[in-house]
Amino acid sequence: MPIMLSQVCQILQTKSKKEGLNLPMELARRIADKSNRNLCRALLLCETCRVQQ
C-alpha cells in the first residue's frame, strides 16, 4: 500500500525540523508529488534542495 502524500510531507517536515531547517509546506508537497510518494526518493530530493540552497 503506497504511503499518502500528506504522510510524506509530514515526514519531510519532521526530518527538516530535526536538522534545524525550515521546509515550507508547499515545497514539501512538491517534493512528495515529484517523488510519486516514494519516501526514499522524497528524502533524497529534500537533501538535494538543502545542498543547493
**What are 2-39's pLDDT values in tens digits?**
789 999 999 999 999 999 999 999 999 999 999 999 99
- Is the pLDDT higher at 38 or at 53? 38
| pLDDT(44) > 80 | yes
Helix then strand count (H, E) for the chain reads 3, 0
pTM score over 0.75:
yes
Which residue reads 508537497 in cell numbers?
29
- Is the pLDDT higher at 51 or at 8? 8
Contact 32, 1 (CB under 8 A): no
C-alpha 2/C-alpha 11 separation (Å) is 14
| pLDDT(1) > 70 | no
Could you tell me the sign of the dihedral formed by the alpha carbons of 24, 25, 30, 33, in that order?
positive
C-alpha 20/C-alpha 12 separation (Å) is 12
- Is the pLDDT higher at 27 or at 51? 27
